[in-house]
Structure 1
Amino acid sequence: MRRVLCLELLALGLLAACVTVNVYFPAAEAEQAADRIIDAVTSKPAAQPQESKPQEQKPPAEPSQAPPQSSGLAPAAPRAAAALLAAAARVLDSLVPAAYAQASANVDVSTPQIRAITDSLHQRHAELQKYFASGAIGLTADGLVGVRDQNAVPLAERATVKQLVAEHNRDLAALYAEIARANGHPEWEADIRRIFARRWVERGAQPGWYYQDSSGKWVPKG
């Protein structure tokens, strides 16, 4: 009996040791965070969260009848083994939800650094709007801004446009890196940039503005 108990406890211990925190990239939360920043930069109303449908209430299950208990007391060794196994199972049950809780993550975009970058992008966006509208500049596939047609810019303004685009891109690159860093996952930067690149077009761009498709071709937004 003692040998069986030791083997069972060893199995539970190994299972608990295998509980790892698998941190995934929260794409849905990142998209919502991107929309909030894009709205702030372009001065659009903040996105309203979607209402979740109430879940149907299931009737409570009828309690199952316990089998008749024997009036005799179980031997001490089996009782001790059962108590230890039950305690180990409770510890394991507490570990698994904790691991999943740590695996989930909200994307925080409220740090002072992120707010400062967002304000800078907002102020410059007003200056860039007319160049987006003329097709002189557009949104690139990597979440930045590019000069598409410098001939659409008056000669006297070309140096200014290049400077504005360069400063805007520095802020955008800093924004993506700072969001990843502020949330404790610098490795998320590429995923964050990819989501922003898509949402700048879908949410931030106005009809007629140019953007790069997956092949790098400039196309107007319909």
Structure 2
Amino acid sequence: MRKLVYGLLTTLLVALVGCVTINVYFPEAAAQKAADQFIGTVLDNSAPAQPAKSDQPAPPPKKGSQPSAMLLDLLIPAAYAADTPNLRIQTATTEAIHGRMQARFRDTLTPLFNSGAVGFTQDGLVAVRDAGKVPLDQRAGVSAAVADENRDRNALYREVANANNHPEWEAQIRATFAKGWIERARPGWYYQDPSGAWKQK
């Protein structure tokens, strides 16, 4: 009888462990908060970004007192880490990108946004919307500034994903930032809606 009970428990345990899937979900709320902070300091040209609170490691969740919970804790300790992933946004690379973007907005892009010459795209980049608003002799400089900005933006989204050891999050990070840029756009600035049509705030 005892062998039968042990056999059933072992079979149940193997089935239970086989059914456990550890998913690490994209931390959307943490990403929105971090993106908003980053975008705010770029657009407002204020002090350098403060470290996001999500950079701090979360305290480990309290382990259950049930024997089955303790057994799962021993077998799958990473299951707790999957519940509340952190989002790391500050690295040496992102800080350098932040500084370049802040200077570019202060020195070049803000007047272009104000005139309607450039706008935010739906995919988190910047595009020349109306080259006619830029004097002919300045258009090459504007195109270069937009290209530099987009190079930094693409690098930013990739770096944040890689810094969190989830390169597959790059598209979600890009989408979160794209939404944030548009939400923080000043009145009169242009942005693309989901269909790609230009709208004015």
**Pairwise same-fold verdict (TM > 0.5):** yes
Task: Find the counterpart in structure 2 of residue 164 from structure 1.
Answer: 145
Are the structure 2 counterparts of residues 176 and 213 from structure 1 closer, same or farther at C-alpha, using a change threshold of 3 Å? same
**1:209 aligns with one of 159, 174, 189:** 189
Partner letter of residue 176 of structure 1? Y
Aligned equivalents of 2:179, 2:92: Cα separation in 1? 25
After TM superposition, give the deviation of residue 103 of structure 1 in Å. 4.3
The residue correspondences of 1:133-148 to structure 2 (distance < 5 A) are 133-148=114-129
Aligned equivalents of 2:123, 2:70: Cα separation in 1? 48
SS at match of 1:102: helix
Unaligned runs of 5+ in 2: 53-65
Task: Find the counterpart in structure 2 of residue 184 from structure 1.
Answer: 165
Query: Is residue 121–residue 127 contact of structure 2 (8 Å, CA) maintained in 1?
Result: yes
Partner letter of residue 119 of structure 2? G
Task: Find the counterpart in structure 1 of residue 96 from structure 2.
Answer: 116
After TM superposition, give the deviation of residue 90 of structure 1 in Å. 2.8
1:52-73 per-position Cα deviation (integer Å, ceiling 9, x unaligned): xxxxxxxxxxxxxxxxxxxxxx
**1:152 aligns with one of 133, 142, 166:** 133
Are the structure 2 counterparts of residues 186 and 98 from structure 1 closer, same or farther at C-alpha, using a change threshold of 3 Å? closer
Following superposition, which runs of at least 4 residues in structure 1 exceed 3 angstroms of deviation? 44-47, 86-89, 93-98
Query: Is residue 25–residue 82 contact of structure 2 (8 Å, CA) maintained in 1?
Result: no
1:128 matched to 2:129? The reply is no
Number of paired residues?
183
Aligned equivalents of 2:73, 2:132: Cα separation in 1? 66
Query: Is residue 22–residue 100 contact of structure 1 (8 Å, CA) maintained in 2?
Result: no
Which structure is larger by alpha-carbon Rg, 1 or 2?
1
Aligned equivalents of 2:69, 2:147: Cα separation in 1? 58
Partner letter of residue 145 of structure 2? L
After TM superposition, give the deviation of residue 104 of structure 1 in Å. 2.6
After TM superposition, give the deviation of residue 132 of structure 1 in Å. 0.3
Unaligned runs of 5+ in 1: 50-85
Task: Find the counterpart in structure 2 of residue 92 from structure 1.
Answer: 72
Task: Find the counterpart in structure 1 of residue 155 from structure 2.
Answer: 174
Partner letter of residue 174 of structure 1? A
SS at match of 2:122: coil
SS at match of 1:109: coil
1:21-66 per-position Cα deviation (integer Å, ceiling 9, x unaligned): 111111111111111110221235879x9xxxxxxxxxxxxxxxxx
CA root-mean-square deviation: 2.2
